[in-house]
Amino acid sequence: EFKGTGNMELVLDRKCAEMRLWPAVNVAASGTRKEELLLDAKSLEGIHFFRRALVQQKIEESTETMIARLSKTKTNAEFLKLIAR
């Protein structure tokens, strides 16, 4: 877990690591400050919708969902288009 004056917080999850889910990231608890400066409005809206859906699941299920969605795309831009629908 990295905290402090940085602009990003990445929270790792022991349960995911024990289940051999890599990366063992708690997606709901991880994030970036001022992400609105990094993304256009449509992508940002898609990310917020996706995060709200992930929060409804257990941490290990949300990690599996994230990995499954990421594996369907080759680039970050493709991933953003996928979740922005």
What CA–CA distances, in Å, run from 64 to 1, 37, 54, 68, 70? 20, 28, 10, 6, 10
Q: Is the pLDDT of residue 73 over 70?
A: yes
Residue 56 CA, chain-centre distance (Å), reads: 13
Residue 74 pLDDT exceeds 90: yes
The mean of the pLDDT values for the chain is 83
The residue ranges of every structural domain in the chain are 8-83
Cα radius of gyration (the chain):
13
Summarize the chain as % helix, strand, coil (round to 5): 50, 5, 40
With contact defined as beta carbons under 8 Å apart, do 79 and 71 qualify?
no
Asked whether the predicted pLDDT for residue 9 surpasses 70, the reply is yes
Q: In this predicted model, what pLDDT tens digit does every residue of 18-29 receive, in sequence order?
A: 888 778 888 878
